[in-house]
Amino acid sequence: MSQNQIRLLGISGSPRIASTDYVIKEALKYANEKYNVLTDYFSVAKKTIKFCIHCDYCLKHKGCVHKDDMLEVYQKLEWADALLLASPVYQGTISGQLKTLMDRCRAVVAKDILFFANKVGAALAVGGDRIGGQEPTLRTIHDFYIINEAFSIGGGAFGANLGATIWSKDKGAAGAEADKIGLKTLYRTIDRLITITQKIKT
């Protein structure tokens, strides 16, 4: 691995292995084939991630009181230069599972306030309807990046403004694969994510 080779982590916030899982793996494959980046993946499906209980254990002990599958997430986040957080649309915003994962990142920031600094983050939203909450979902993910001092980027003007938006028609991976317009927003978002990350690393 060269010193400037980008390390991209994709996280699926869906409790199912369906459309969100398919799309984020497609994003990682695209990034690897086009830009030769290193990729890693984490899915919340079948994982144990307990709620943040705001006990402030992390402030006192520089680690989380819970010892569960977030320990793996912390390692992967530390490794990554670039992040792609993906969520299905639940009630017009992110899934509860992804929200819990975000909340639990308080522990790594308590240990190192610059943990996310200089990392670049993009967002991906998958909805059963064409317009069913994708943009609020993307904005919630961007808020997470901004709060934690990561660079938050979209896919660029005229087509993928806030990031990647996929219409699955509630047909799982097959539905997501069929959304060619949505996949274009995905590729544009990855292009910009890698371009900005390259500039920051060099």
- Its pTM stands at 0.96
Amino acid letter, 99: K
At residue 48, the pLDDT reads 98
Domain contains 152: yes
Domain contains 22: yes
pLDDT digit string, tens, across residues 38-50: 999 999 999 999 9
pLDDT digit string, tens, across residues 170-194: 999 999 999 999 999 999 999 999 9
Window from 1-10, 31-40, 88-97 with minimum mean pLDDT = 1-10
Query: What's the CATH code of the domain at 41?
Result: 3.40.50.360
Exposure string over 16-35, b if 16+ CB within 10 A, otherwise e: eebbbbbbbbbbbebbeeeb
User: What is the share, in percent, of the chain residues with pLDDT greater than 70?
Assistant: 99
Q: For the chain, what is the domain count?
A: 1
Domain contains 1: no
Q: Which domain holds residue 72?
A: 7-201
Domain contains 2: no
CA dist 21 to 37, 88, 112, 139, Å? 19, 10, 30, 20
Q: At what angle do helices 96-104 and 134-147 cross, to 10 degrees?
A: 10
Q: How many CA atoms lie within 13 A of 182 on its CB side?
A: 27
Domain contains 72: yes
pLDDT digit string, tens, across residues 127-151: 999 988 999 999 999 999 999 999 9
Q: Which residues are CB-neighbours of 38 under 8 A, at least 6 positions away?
A: 1, 5, 6, 7, 8, 32
Question: How far apart are the C-alpha atoms of 25 and 11, rounded to whole Å?
Answer: 9
Domain contains 30: yes
Provide the token pair at 2: 């060269």
